[in-house]
Amino acid sequence: MKRVLIKVSGEALSGQKGTGFDFAFVTSVCNVVREALSGGAQVGIVIGGGNFWRGVKDGAGKVERVSADRMGMLATAMNCLAVADVFRQCGVDARVMTAVDIQGVGERHDVRKAVEYLESGKVVLFACGTGHPFFSTDTAAVLRAAEIGADAILLAKNVDGVYTADPRKDPSAVKLDEITYTEVLARRLQVMDSTATSLAMDNELPVIVFALADPTNILRVLNGEKVGTYVH
């Protein structure tokens, strides 16, 4: 794989704290990405906002859906700014591109400029989701991956792959090495939301789901090792 889009959950950035940042962990992830870049990979990143705000869930019925989703977009921008600074401290040039205009926070998303940055060895962090409410950062990850012509989406989560059921609730759940998008949709497996899954399927974008707890999994995936679950 030469060019990939890594989707990182916001919760993963907070480590055991659940909120905010675990900067030791974030630094370890950035160092692994730096190693991937030195090996010739081109890396774009979409980060969720769950370590700060989870849209409607955190709105608790008091914040209207559109406003809640926009707050989530701002949370992703905060995450991208923080991670970009950690990248720079690790010696990696990182650029933040936003799906909505936030002057002084990041550049307005432009596909040609993003590809130019990737080809020059920079990491591009795509903030603010798709720029529209009702769409998740999973959908944003698939959209950006399609736009930049990524070879695959690396879905870095808190679980080590796709299971037949929620392993936290069902001890008989079995991890799958490989599964098709059609099966994911038919069995309603929680890999990504249905919009993101359908978009990936329509654009023939494979997704590798793996645990970010060990950041070196990123390198293993890039090197073609069988890690997590391959969705196609």
Domain boundaries, the chain: 3-231
Contact, 51 vs 21, CB < 8 A?
A: yes
Give residue-wise pLDDT tens across range 133-160: 999 999 999 999 999 999 999 999 888 8
Give residue-wise pLDDT tens across range 66-87: 999 999 999 999 999 999 999 9
Q: How far is CA 38 from CA 15, 107, 209, in A?
A: 26, 25, 23
Give residue-wise pLDDT tens across range 162-216: 998 888 888 888 999 999 999 999 988 888 999 999 999 999 999 999 999 999 9
Could you tell me the fold of the domain covering 3-231?
Answer: Carbamate kinase (3.40.1160)
Q: Taking 80 as the threshold, does the pLDDT of residue 90 lie above it? A: yes
Mean pLDDT of the chain: 93
- Bridge partners (DSSP) of residue 6 are 45, 154
- pLDDT bucket at 114, cuts 50 / 70 / 90: very high
pLDDT reported for residue 158 = 81
Contact, 175 vs 39, CB < 8 A?
A: no
**In percent, how much of the chain has pLDDT > 70?**
99
Residue 174, Cβ neighbours under 10 Å: how many? 10
Query: pTM here?
Result: 0.94
Q: Taking 80 as the threshold, does the pLDDT of residue 2 lie above it? A: yes
